[in-house]
Structure 1
Amino acid sequence: MEFFKDIIKNKKLIMQLGKNDFKNRFANTSLGAIWGFLQPFIFMLTYAIVFQFILKAGSGGDYPYAVWFFPGMTMWQWINDSIMSASNSIRTYSYLVKKVVFPVNIIPVISIVASSFVGLFLIVIATVICIIYGYMPNVLLLIYAIIAVYAFTIAFTRFTSAITTVVPDFSNLLGIAMQLFFWFTPIVWNLGMLADKPILLKIMKCTPFTYLITTFRQVFIDENIVFAGNGIYTIIFWIVTIILFIWGNSIFKRTRKDFADVL
């Protein structure tokens, strides 16, 4: 497919522009890119303190709350930042879109790469925290989780980046939707709370966000719901991701000819 050919052909350009994108987000600040790492970490730390010590939230298992919380929140921070930045990327890089020879296909991927710097940093932090508590990571499952995040965010933003370019207000709607997804996904609450609602529990297990959050948690702990090892949920996740990509790619191709006119 054209998309994958563009990715392979321009992989060095994607990495370079991704680095520049990340640096430019904090170009006018004294600490520069340090804010990119500091802000999400402080955000996560604040949530951990509030939910563990003030709201007395539990992990739903025999493991420390921090070991349960940080992997889940880390994954969400990465996913959310990737989706929001990539969805607005065509407008951000409007000057490139108007260049006839530039491969517009790779622009959302550039933003996803830029978000990866913080995402991978937070993964290191979460890993260190879990190791301090005595929970060692499953390296193979960690690699799988990272691949799954890239696959899903690329698939998801094929659609959202195209729509946001043509309909700018969609970015605000997407922001609201992501806030709702945050609270409806078991990030600060555990799936055990739905034990008496089996139908709702099954629906929650089938959502891509829940799958990714729980898979990354299982890099360190077992929540008694072995998502990565349970074929049905893994199959559902990849079917949804593939359908999203095919559909999103179709939307992207149909709207791409209008990008230069609306920017």
Structure 2
Amino acid sequence: MIKDLFNYIKDLYGSRKLIEKFSVNDFKARYAGSFLGILWAFIQPTVTILVYWFVFEVGLKSTPTGNIPFFLFLLTGIIVWFFFSESLVNGTNCFREYNYLVKKVTFNIKILPTVKIISSLYTHIFFIIFALVMVLLYGKPLTPYFLQIFYYLFCLIVFLTGLTWISASLQPFFTDILQFINVGMQVLFWGTPILWDVNIFPPELLWILKLNPLYYIVQGYRESFFGQGWFWEHPVMTAYFWGFSFILLFVGIWIYRRLRPHFADVL
């Protein structure tokens, strides 16, 4: 199984030029025909951020978390969620969306979930830069801790890769999977420390929330932006996250290999 994983990674690396080309085309095609075009990729998340900020800080008078203004606390967490949710939904539907490629024996369709992740990455990079600018405008210093944002971004991509291999492989046979994912994401959103501070929960309950892999990434993003610590200072959480992610990758590879020969029959 480990050999299969390395072969898949090698295969994706060998197709990196094709993945880049397809991801750019996918990003453009998503908004083709609309008046504002790709601006919608940035407008909708920005409006969502402003709505949450208005409701929780202006309306509910949410107080700063530590010395972090609520707007920055919200922004540095919710950009992770935007990338995760968009990649998962689009990646799950990739084989059905590109069914004409699935039926081509010569095309390497295993790159399609990765294409969807990279397509969503372009918007995510914009919001990382936007969050960094807002942190500086609020008078927070940029520290060397910010460099580990690349580590946590890599963590998120690996986690999404395993998850989308599973969901995309099942979707042609189980079309309701997107409905289950949408329901599950509603629960996951509130189970991830995006709008709430981890300190409000007692330790005996917090460990349950830490089972959510996104907990590790969201907290890591905030530590990177606000200079609060290095990822190796959380050895247990780091080991758990990577163990969980590798299990997803192995399961995703196994499911894909078993179901791939039947894709063309059901799409």
Question: Residue 136 of structure 2 corresponds to which residue in structure 1?
Answer: 131
Q: 1:150 & 1:81 partners in 2: Cα distance? A: 12
Task: State the TM-score, normalized to the length of structure 1.
Answer: 0.94
Q: 1:155 aligns with which of 148, 151, 162?
A: 162
Q: 1:255 & 1:57 partners in 2: Cα distance? A: 48
Structure 1 unmatched runs, 5+: none
Q: 1:151 & 1:15 partners in 2: Cα distance? A: 17
Aligned 1:175-214 pairs, distance under 5 A? 175-195=182-202, 198-214=203-219
Shift of 1:6: 2.1
Q: 1:31 aligns with which of 15, 29, 36?
A: 36
State whether residues 158 and 252 of structure 1, in contact with CA within 8 Å, keep that contact through their aligned partners in structure 2.
yes
Question: Residue 245 of structure 1 corresponds to which residue in structure 2?
Answer: 249
Q: 1:2 aligns with which of 7, 16, 23?
A: 7
Q: 2:117 aligns with which of 104, 112, 117?
A: 112
Q: 2:55 aligns with which of 25, 50, 62?
A: 50
Q: 2:260 & 2:33 partners in 1: Cα distance? A: 32
Q: 1:67 & 1:36 partners in 2: Cα distance? A: 21
Question: Residue 256 of structure 1 corresponds to which residue in structure 2?
Answer: 260
- Equivalent position amino acid for 2:234 in 1: N
Question: Residue 140 of structure 1 corresponds to which residue in structure 2?
Answer: 147
Q: 1:30 & 1:220 partners in 2: Cα distance? A: 35
Q: Segments of 4+ in structure 1 off by > 3 A?
A: 225-228
Shift of 1:9: 1.6
Q: 1:49 & 1:212 partners in 2: Cα distance? A: 25
State whether residues 148 and 230 of structure 2, in contact with CA within 8 Å, keep that contact through their aligned partners in structure 1.
no
Q: 1:166 aligns with which of 159, 162, 173?
A: 173
Question: Residue 234 of structure 1 corresponds to which residue in structure 2?
Answer: 238
Q: 1:13 aligns with which of 14, 18, 26?
A: 18
Q: Secondary structure at the match of 2:168?
A: helix
Q: 1:177 & 1:38 partners in 2: Cα distance? A: 25
State whether residues 165 and 262 of structure 1, in contact with CA within 8 Å, keep that contact through their aligned partners in structure 2.
yes
Question: Residue 121 of structure 1 corresponds to which residue in structure 2?
Answer: 126
Q: How many equivalent residue pairs?
A: 260
Q: How many percent identity over aligned positions?
A: 33
Q: 1:248 & 1:200 partners in 2: Cα distance? A: 30
Structure 2 unmatched runs, 5+: 1-5
Task: State the TM-score, normalized to the length of structure 2.
Answer: 0.93
Q: Secondary structure at the match of 1:220?
A: helix
Two-structure CA RMSD over aligned residues (Å):
1.6
State whether residues 146 and 227 of structure 2, in contact with CA within 8 Å, keep that contact through their aligned partners in structure 1.
no
Q: 2:83 aligns with which of 78, 83, 92?
A: 78
Q: 1:2 & 1:61 partners in 2: Cα distance? A: 46
